[in-house]
Amino acid sequence: MSRLACLGALAVVVFGLPARAQDEVRIGAVLPVTGKESKIGGAYKQATELAVKEANDAGGVQVGGKKMKVNLSLLDDTSDASKSAQLVEQLITQNKSHAIIGGYGSHLVQAQSVVPDRYGVPYLSGGAGATAIYGRSKWVFGTLSPVEHLADTQMKFLDDLVKQGKLKTPLTIALVTENTEHGNDYVKGVTDFVKSHPGYKVVVQEKFELNTTDYRPLLQRVAEAKADLFLADSHLEDFIAMHRTYTQMGLHHLMLTHGARGSDAAARKALGPATDFVFASGWWSDLLPYPQVKEFNARYKAATGVEPQWYHAMAYETTRALLVAISKAGSLDPEKIRAALAGLRMEKSIAPGQVLSFTRTGQCDLPFVVTQNKPGGKVDLVWPKEDATGPTIAPIPTK
Amino acid sequence: MGLFRRHPVLPLGLLFAAGLVLAPLFAPRGTLNDLWNMAFYVVLASAWNLLGGFAGQVSLGYSAFVGIGAYTTVLLANAGWSPALTLPVGAAIAVAFSVAVGLPTFRLRGPYFTIATIGVGEAVRVIASGLEFTGGSSGLRMPAGTFDFSTNYHAMVGLALVTLALVAGLQQHAFGLSLEAIRQDIDAAEALGVNSTRTKLQAHAISAALVAIAGGLFATNFQYISPGSVFDFRLSLTIVLMPIVGGMGTLVGPVLGAMLFSYLQIKLLASPALRDSYLFIYGGLLIVVMLFEPKGMVGLWERLVGLRPWRRTPAVAEARRVS
Amino acid sequence: MQKLVVVALNSLLAAGLYATMSYGLAVIYGVMRIINLAHAGLMMLAAYATYALNDRFGLDPFLSLVIVAPAFFLIGVALYATLIRWLARSSAGPSMQSLLLLFGVWLVLQNLAYAIWGGDTQSILTPYTMQSLEVLGGRFGVPQILVFGVSILSLVGLNLVLRRTYLGKAIRAVTQNRDAAMLSGVNAGQIAAVAFGIGTAFAAMAGSMLSTLYAFTPDFGRSFLLKAFCIIVLGGMESFTGVAVGALVLAFIENFASAYTSIPVSYQDAISFTLLVVVLVAAPGGLPGLWRMLDRRALAR
């Protein structure tokens, strides 16, 4: 039965499908352009397309002796996980993509990431930091560093403030996270740090569902715990809703963060001066003082009219990394591309640390940045210290 | 030949079944994926139809059974079980759950029952997201080496055909007639000796088992599940939409609905213009069906071939004029 | 004790909003035995309309209620005239047809919002959004207090209409017994249209007020809808005062559960869902039904 199927499939392949151009690099991408993740998914689409356009405008990617144009097939999975996986499969089997750029959002990338292993096609995602995704298949790579390290970076940043004398241990922590993989990784990062640093203690720990309607009960529990630090990990809508309630209830902590949220333009628009002094940690900031970052900001704004946020930058850099790896591989052979990705050291990267490379598990482990909002709509980069653009204000002043 | 005369849809059905089974020989992988999806929906729609279409008890909480089947399979597979053996266990748990839910809620009639099922479905989802051993909101993966598309494909197609055969058989059997009776007038049915609660529970259990097995196959095919993908309210709605648009209470209706729905999904994704409007289309379909042809596509067909009149009967027109 | 007061006040504030959310559903159900799933979509649309008015003209969300509520009343009547009117009416109870039709309408409304405003999260910031007042030892946000005030006003207004005007009495009559009402000369069709309009207007008011409290996307409204179901079931689906009671009960249970037990906050929604099922099964008449039952038992003794 299966031999018959193979013959049939062979016949279909040989006679059925149109001839494929061999002189192009076929990249497939599946992103949530519509649906729940559409805001950032759309941004990823924009940045990915820009990176491909820039490569093609420069004549294409140098593969071996030839310059080849990049043919990007970008499909919308409407933020549905099963559809996402099936579309990746389609891009590999029917489109004959040489490599796949993964989606945005841990659950979508999780669903997609089981597919590359079946076909032996390199897969690079710029949209998921959950550690559980990586290390299972040698074909799966990710440019977003682990969320646990995001939390760990924030703890190190806070610890440094203690060393500077701005804060004093012992410090108690209120830990409030969204009930997702992202949130769980964040919790792990914080609790691991707390275990090895006796000056810190978590006194209240709560999870909340995405799009919770009323944060009052949650924050009531936080208020009763009377913690020093407020560490939260949330999506944008929840950050806005929770922080509003937080401000209305008159809560105050020495330092406050919502994980990667804080400096988002939408948040400042929705919350106004209530976001002052909130610190946030992310995979990228447009404030990084590297020349290539300044140049990227200008180029991106000129091409799209949009000031790049971390998701634009990481999506762009992910695509660029893939194209660079293909170039380094010198061929379109999947194993060669995979090996090139595994051993990649991309210099002059716009990512923090300026060098993009993958660890053994296929995930990047680049430094995180910490930014702090300042009054008047200003934002300062405050970590890594050597790249800082302004001082850290700690503790948050009481009104 | 008498068989074909009694069931005119049979030759078409056999052709359809043959097409599905033989498809891997000549169809590209993308099409096979689409057929798998369609078969999955056929199972869900037809199974739901037993309780929802035939017996008239519309449940909006069927994603709970999909989730139960999927999670049972993943958890047991990770404990070393062969995926095939996990399916009956998932079915059994789903049956138990269906009885636990059905016993209190079948006392309710009409949309009250429907609302109760919404509550149950959502409660299950929230709890599943919170529990530790189900991986919480991070979801779970199948162990490596449990994926074989050929097996997955034939299993799902097989399940679809078995489901249809089962429903067809029940339709002719006294059981099917009892379900019809319950839908039309539950008190009269009781007066005639139908134990409505027990019949409803049985229908619920059979459909729960079928849906759970489909859920287990889903887990095997996608290798990764999370509360968002299997306990989703939208899935419950999709399961209900298909038989409604296709024609509730008929054998063919859910199949038509499943086919339409799968087709729409493929077409919509392919066209950027339509992609942003898929909600318009689903919503519009529902509105049109409810307003003009509550019996769905099957009803439309019946009118086209003259089995039913186009105009509403005089009695209805009279009633409408008065109000 | 202090905590008790704060939690009680929180519950009260939440109840006001919940009641406004649920009244729209209750009016439509009472008169037409229709379960309006589009309620969530209408709330969402009203939130966006409020946002648009605020964004374009700088109109304060509470002031814009004067525009939004009547506009949506008209939208509700239009919806009735074009779609609902044609539904076959089953004398027994609510029909699945209406449920699914309105669900279709909800989907269409969602797509409308996506098409006009995109999927971005929107929110409204006013000068008083972040402010709070100190009442009896607890701090309460100004928007919450304003929402509560408007809710009470609108509910009192609705009650006055229901009890004092011919329209209101006609609505109540149709709710209790449609045929008898028609025999008394009530034009049930017109009443239905008006009731649908009122229901939609209330949904819009709720949505408008919600926009001052939360950020929203086109997906907004689903969890509120389920809570509203829970409330009208609790309140006994045929009684208007029951809805207020139901809102209070749900708000109190939610707030007290999280304040005094250690049930994880993420299970909070499960409370309302479970309550919904329990009440439907154990006390189908809702709290009034329970009350009547106890009353009857007391009388029997």
pLDDT above 60: residue C91: no
Of all residues in chain B, what percent carry a pLDDT higher than 90?
A: 29
- Laid out side by side, the sheet with A200-208 consists of A200-208, A171-178, A229-233, A255-257, A279-282, A369-374, A378-383
DSSP string computed for C190-226: HHHHHHHHHHHHHHHHHHHHHHHHS-B-TTTTHHHHH
The answer for residues whose C-beta is within 8 angstroms of residue A222's C-beta and 6 or more apart is A174, A176, A204, A206, A230, A251
What's the pLDDT at B313? Answer: 46
What is d(CA C228, CA C15) in angstroms, rounded to the nearest whole number? 11
Q: pLDDT tens for residues A69-107?
A: 999 999 988 888 888 998 998 899 888 999 999 999 888
Spatial neighbors of A261 by CB under 8 A, at least 6 apart, are A234, A235, A236, A239, A267, A280
Which of the following CATH numbers is that of domain A148-282+369-387: 3.40.50.2300, 3.30.9.10, 3.90.180.10, 3.40.50.460? Answer: 3.40.50.2300
State how far the Cα of C139 lies from the Cα of C162, in Å rounded to an integer: 35
Burial of A229: CB neighbours in 10 Å, binned 0-12, 13-18, 19+ = buried
With bands split at pLDDT 50, 70 and 90, how would you rate the model's confidence at A15?
very low
Q: How far apart are CA B35 and CA B24, in angstroms?
A: 10
How far is the C-alpha of A363 from the C-alpha of A352, rounded, in Å?
15
- Binned at pLDDT 50, 70 and 90, residue C282 comes out as confident
pLDDT (mean) for B119-123? 82
Per-residue model confidence as pLDDT tens digits over A362-376: 999 999 999 999 998
Instruction: Give CA torsion, residues A314, A315, A318, A322, to 10 deg.
Output: -160
pLDDT at position A370, please?
94
Query: In three state form, how does the secondary structure of chain B look?
Result: CHHHHHCCCHHHHHHHHHHHHHHHHCCCHHHHHHHHHHHHHHHHHHHHHHHHHHCCCCCCCCHHHHHHHHHHHHHHHHCCCCHHHHHHHHHHHHHHHHHHHHHHHCCCCHHHHHHHHHHHHHHHHHHHHHCCCCCHHHCEECCCCCCCHHHHHHHHHHHHHHHHHHHHHHHHCHHHHHHHHHHHCHHHHHHCCCCHHHHHHHHHHHHHHHHHHHHHHHHHHHCEECHHHHCCHHHHHHHHHHHHHHCCCCCHHHHHHHHHHHHHHHHHHHCHHHHCCHHHHHHHHHHHHHHHCCCHHHHHHHHHCCCCCCCCCHHHHHHHHHC
Q: B265-311, pLDDT tens digit by residue?
A: 777 666 655 656 667 777 888 888 888 887 888 888 888 887 767 65
Q: How far apart are CA C8 and CA C2, in angstroms?
A: 10
CB-based burial, A133-158: b 16+ in 10 Å, e otherwise: bbeebbbbbbbbbbbbbbbbbbbbbb
CA C79, CA C163: separation in Å to the nearest integer? 26
pLDDT at B321 over 70: no
User: Contact B290/C104, CB-based, under 8 Å?
Assistant: yes
Mean pLDDT of C16-30: 85
Distance of residue B224 Cα from the nearest chain A Cα, in angstroms: 6
**Type of residue found at C77:** V
B245 pLDDT above the threshold of 70: yes
**Would you state the pLDDT for residue A235?**
85
| Nearest residue of C to residue B296, measured between CA atoms | C97
Burial pattern A23-35, b for ≥16 Cβ within 10 A else e, equals ebbbbbbbbbbbb
Residue A111 has pLDDT above 80, yes or no: yes
CATH annotation of A3-145+290-357: 3.40.50.2300
- Looking at residue A359, its amino acid is T
- Beta-strand relationship, A171-178 and A140-142: unpaired
Q: Where does the pLDDT of residue A8 fall: very low under 50, low under 70, confident under 90, or very high at 90 and above?
A: very low
What part of C 39-78 touches A (C-beta under 8 Å)? none
Predicted confidence at residue A352, as pLDDT, reads: 92
CA angle C55, A275, A205 (to 5 degrees): 120
| Cross-chain Cβ contact C105/B284 below 8 Å | no
**Virtual CA dihedral for A58, A63, A65, A69, nearest 10 degrees?**
-40
- The residue that leads in pLDDT, A181 or A253, is A253
pLDDT digits (tens, 9 = 90+) for C230-270: 888 888 766 667 888 888 888 888 888 877 877 777 777 77
DSSP A44-107: HHHHHHHHHHHHHHTT-EEETTEEEEEEEEEEE-TT-HHHHHHHHHHHHHTS--SEEE--BSHH
Locate the chain B residue with the closest alpha carbon to C191.
Answer: B323
Lowest mean pLDDT across A6-10, A334-338, B5-9, C115-119: A6-10
Convert A310-337 to b/e letters by CB count within 10 Å (16 or more is b): bbbbbbbbbbbbbbbbbbbbeebebebb
Which pLDDT belongs to residue A3? 54
Alpha-carbon distance of C127 to A212, in angstroms, equals 24
- Nearest residue in chain C measured CA to CA from B53: C96
| Whether C144 and A241 lie within 8 Å, measured CB to CB | no
Cβ–Cβ gap C214/A217 under 8 Å: no
Dig out the tokens for A261 from the structure: 């949220």
Residue entry with tokens 């929802």: B52
The whole-number pLDDT of residue B290 equals 80
Determine contact: A93 vs chain B, CB below 8 A: yes
User: Predicted confidence band at C88 (pLDDT cuts at 50, 70, 90)?
Assistant: low
On whether any CB of chain B is under 8 Å from the CB of A34, the answer is yes
**Residue whose C-alpha is closest to residue A310's, from A277, A265, A268:** A265
Residue of B40, B78, B224, B262 to mutate for A, most A C-beta atoms under 10 A: B224
| pLDDT at residue B190, rounded to an integer | 86
Inspect the interface and report whether the beta carbons of B139 and A107 lie closer than 8 Å: yes
Tens of pLDDT along B29-69? Answer: 778 888 999 999 999 999 999 998 888 888 988 999 999 99
A184 pLDDT above the threshold of 60:
yes
Kindly state the tokens that stand for B215: 């859920």
At C290 the three-state DSSP class reads: helix
pLDDT tens by residue, A335-345: 999 999 999 99
Look at residue A14 in the predicted model and tell me its pLDDT.
47
- pLDDT surpasses 80 at A154: yes
Is the omega angle on the peptide bond into residue A289 within 30 degrees of 0, that is, cis?
no
C109-155 pLDDT, tens digit each: 988 888 888 777 788 888 888 788 888 777 788 888 888 899 888 88
Q: How much is the mean pLDDT over chain C?
A: 83
Fold designation for C2-300: ABC transporter involved in vitamin B12 uptake, BtuC (1.10.3470)
Considering only CB atoms, B33 lies closest to which of A90, A107, A179, namely A90
pLDDT above 90: residue B83? no
Kindly list the partner chains of chain B, i.e. chains with 3 or more CB atom pairs below 8 Å: A, C
φ and ψ of C216, to 5 deg: -140, 155
**Strand pairing class (A66-76; A24-31):** parallel
Q: In Å, how far are A91, A94, B49, C219 from A73, measured between CA atoms?
A: 8, 11, 39, 28
Residue B315 has pLDDT above 70, yes or no: no
Q: Look at residue A203 and give its three-state secondary structure.
A: strand
The predicted-structure confidence for A298-315, as pLDDT tens digits, reads as follows 999 999 998 998 999 999
Contact call for residues C104 and B282 (beta carbons, < 8 A): yes
Residue B68 sits at the vertex; the CA angle it makes with B157 and B215, to the nearest 5 degrees, is 15
Residue B314's pLDDT is 44
Reported as a single tens digit per residue, the pLDDT across B131-179 is: 777 777 778 888 877 788 888 999 999 999 999 999 989 988 888 888 8
Residues A150-155 have a mean pLDDT of: 94
The reply to whether residue C121 touches residue A266, judged by beta carbons under 8 angstroms, is yes
pLDDT tier, C50 (very low <50, low <70, confident <90, very high otherwise): very high
Of residues C300 and C149, more confidence is placed in C149
pLDDT of residue A189: 94
Type of residue at C82: T
The reported pLDDT for the residue numbered A17 is 47
Residue C257: predicted pLDDT? 83
State mean pLDDT over C280-297. 72
The angle that helices B233-246 and B29-49 make with each other, rounded to 10 degrees, is 80
Q: Does the pLDDT value for residue A5 go beyond 50?
A: no
* Residue A192 pLDDT greater than 80, yes or no: yes
Q: Is A107–B228 a contact, with Cβ atoms under 8 angstroms apart?
A: yes
Residue A132 DSSP class: G
User: Residue B234 pLDDT more than 90?
Assistant: no
| Contact between chains at C258 and A211 (C-beta distance less than 8 A) | no
Measured between CB atoms, which of B30, B33, B137 is closest to A181?
B137
The residue ranges of every structural domain in chain A are 3-145+290-357, 148-282+369-387
Cβ contact A200:A169 at 8 Å: yes
Please indicate if any CB of chain A lies within 8 Å of the CB of C187: no
Could you check whether A3-145+290-357 and A148-282+369-387 share the same CATH topology?
yes
How big is chain C by its Cα radius of gyration, in Å? 19
CA atoms of B64 and B232, how far apart (whole Å):
8
Taking the mean position of all CA atoms in its chain, how far away is CA C188?
23
Which residue, among A26, A41, A50, has the nearest Cα to A316 in the 3D structure? A50
Other Cβ atoms less than 10 A from the Cβ of A163: the count is: 8
Residue in A with minimal Cα distance to B269 = A76
Matching residue, tokens 């919170």: B130
- Nearest-10 crossing angle of helices B149-172, B174-184: 70
CA trace torsion B57, C285, B236, B162 (10° rounding): -30
Residue B2's pLDDT is 53
Spatial CB neighbours of C262, under 8 Å, sequence gap ≥ 6: none
Residues A279-289 have a mean pLDDT of 92
Collapsing DSSP to helix, strand or coil, A128 comes out as coil
Whether B275 contacts A76, CB under 8 Å: yes
Most confidently modeled range among A261-265, B224-228, C116-120: B224-228
Percentage of residues in chain A having pLDDT higher than 90: 62
